[in-house]
Amino acid sequence: MRIILGVGGGIAAYKSASLLRLFTEAGHTVMVIPTRAADEFVGRATWEALSGHKVPDGIFDEVDQVNHVRLGQEADLIVVAPATADLMARAAAGMADDLLTNTLLVAACPVFMAPAMHTEMWTNPATRDNVEKLRNRGITVMEPDSGRLTGTDSGPGRLPEPEAIHAAALRLVDAPPRPLAGKRVVITAGGTLEALDPVRFLGNRSSGKQGVSLAKAAAQAGADVHFIAARMDVPPPTGIRLTNVESALELREATLAATAAADVVIMAAAVADFRPAELAGSKIKKRDDGDDPVIKLVRNPDILAELVTQRNDGRLPRSTVIIGFAAETGDEESDVLSYARAKLEKKGCDLLVLNEVGEGMVFAQDESSVQILSRSTGDVEHATGSKDDVAAAVIARAAGELDGS
C-alpha cells in the first residue's frame, strides 16, 4: 500500500519516526511530507533514511511530475501525525499553501489525522469547529491522548502512541468503502413554524437531533449532504451545505429545489400538517370585551407525498431514494407495525423509519429505537441505540436501496 505520512510542526514529530518504521516494517511504501514547521523538529535525513524515499521539497519540486497533484491521487492512505491546530485549520479551510495541504485537497483515499497540541488549543472552539468540519467530510480525526504535554502542563492533546495510530489508521483502509461516495443526499430536519402574526407561531417539539445525526452519518459515508433546517434545539452540522427555513411552505420550496439534483432525500423534519389560514399583518390584540379568538387552519402540502408524485411522473429521476419518518402508536384495532406498513404504502416512499411513540417520548431524547421498513423488500430492520447509531442504520439502508441490495 502507498502511504503518505504528513508530519506537522510539533514537538511530537519525533514520534512519527517510530510510526514510519511501523508502516515500512509492515511492508508499506511510505512517502513523508513534512510541513516547513516540522523541519524545525526532525531533519529530513531522518525521514529519508527511514522511508527509503526522498522527501519532496515542496509544490515546486519536480514540477514536470505535477507532484502536488500526483502524490495525493496515487496514495492509498494519508496519515497526518502530528496534526497541529494550524495544519487542521488549513485543511479545514481547504487551503493549499504547501505540498501537504495540496496533497490533502486532491486525496481520494482515506485520510487519518492524529492531533497533538496543548489542551487549550484542542478545546478552543476554533479547533473544535475545524475538527468537526474535517470529520463531517469523512476525514478520521483521532482523539488525542491525555497526559504530560511539552511543558509542565498536562491534559488532552498528547499525540497517541505510534502503535495506536498505526493500528487505527490501517483499520480505516480495511474498513468497507464509503457506500455513499459521490452521492448527493438531501436531509430535512427540525420542526416547522407556522406564523399566526409577526410574533406568534404554531410549532412542534422536534429537536432536530436525529436530522443532525443523519447528516453526520451521510457525510461519513461519503455523501455530499444538503441540510435543510427548520427550527431546531441543536446547532446544525458544520461543514456541509445548509439552508434555513421556517414554515412548511418554505421547507417545501427548498426541498423540491434541492431534490432535483439528489440521489437520496430524507424527510426527517416534523412538518406541520396545518397552518393558520391567515397571517395577521400586525400583532393580534387581546380584546377583553370580545369573543375568544378562533384560529382557522388550512392544510399544508404533504412534501413527502409530493416528492413521490414527482418521481412517479418523471419530474425526478426514478432512481431517487425517498425516505420518510413516522411517529406512530398502536391501538386496540391494530398494532403499530401494521399502521406503519399502511403509511408506507400510502406515502409511496422507499423507506419509512418508524418511531413508536408513547410512554418513552421520542422528541428530544438521546436514545431511540426505530424500525426501518423497506417497500421494495418488505423487510423490517430494527435499530436501537443513540441517534447516531440509528442514523448509521438508516444511512446503511439508504445505500442498500441505491445499489438494489
How would you classify the pairing of strands 264-267 and 321-328? parallel
Q: Is 300 in the site for ligand CTP (CB under 6 A)?
A: yes
Asked if 353 and 370 count as a contact pair (C-beta separation under 8 A), the reply is yes
What are the residues whose beta carbons fall under 8 Å from the beta carbon of 151, sequence distance 6 or more? none
Q: Is 76 in the site for ligand CTP (CB under 6 A)?
A: no
Q: Which of 204, 300, 312, 355 is catalytic?
A: 204
User: Torsions phi, psi of 84, nearest 5?
Assistant: -80, 165
Of the candidate residues 3, 303, 373, 393, the single one contacting ligand CTP (CB under 6 A): 303
Residue indicated by cell numbers 427550527: 231
Min dist CB 326 to ligand CTP, Å, is: 4
Min dist CB 303 to ligand CTP, Å, is: 3
- Which 3 state secondary structure label does DSSP give 265? strand
Cis status, amide bond into 198, omega within 30 of 0: no
CB atoms inside a 10 Å sphere around CB 286: 7
Asked if 254 and 228 count as a contact pair (C-beta separation under 8 A), the reply is yes
Rg of the chain over Cα atoms, rounded to whole angstroms, equals: 25
Q: How many residues bind ligand CTP (CB under 6 A)?
A: 12
Min dist CB 35 to ligand CTP, Å, is: 46
> Is 244 among the residues known to form the active site?
no
Q: Is 302 in the site for ligand CTP (CB under 6 A)?
A: yes
Q: Is 269 in the site for ligand CTP (CB under 6 A)?
A: yes
Min dist CB 270 to ligand CTP, Å, is: 7
Give all strands (DSSP E) within 76-219, no chain letters: 77-83, 111-115, 140-141, 145-148, 154-158, 184-189, 194-195, 201-202
Min dist CB 216 to ligand CTP, Å, is: 19
Of the candidate residues 74, 273, 388, 389, the single one contacting ligand CTP (CB under 6 A): 273
Amino acid identity, residue 90? R
Asked if 303 and 325 count as a contact pair (C-beta separation under 8 A), the reply is no
Nearer residue to ligand CTP within complex by CB, 159 or 353: 353
First to last CA, the chain: 30
Which span (17-25, 45-53, 212-220, 322-330) binds ligand CTP, by CB under 6 A?
Answer: 322-330
Nearer residue to ligand CTP within complex by CB, 127 or 259: 259
User: Torsions phi, psi of 337, nearest 5?
Assistant: -70, -35
Q: Is 402 in the site for ligand CTP (CB under 6 A)?
A: no
Site for ligand CTP in 137-196 (CB under 6 A): none
Q: Is 248 in the site for ligand CTP (CB under 6 A)?
A: yes
Asked if 115 and 8 count as a contact pair (C-beta separation under 8 A), the reply is no
Q: Is 324 in the site for ligand CTP (CB under 6 A)?
A: yes
Q: Is 267 in the site for ligand CTP (CB under 6 A)?
A: yes
Asked if 82 and 7 count as a contact pair (C-beta separation under 8 A), the reply is yes
Nearer residue to ligand CTP within complex by CB, 55 or 248: 248
Q: Is 326 in the site for ligand CTP (CB under 6 A)?
A: yes
Q: Is 271 in the site for ligand CTP (CB under 6 A)?
A: yes
Nearer residue to ligand CTP within complex by CB, 51 or 207: 207
Binding site for ligand CTP (CB under 6 A): 248, 267, 269, 271, 273, 300, 302-304, 324-326
As annotated, the active-site residues are: 204
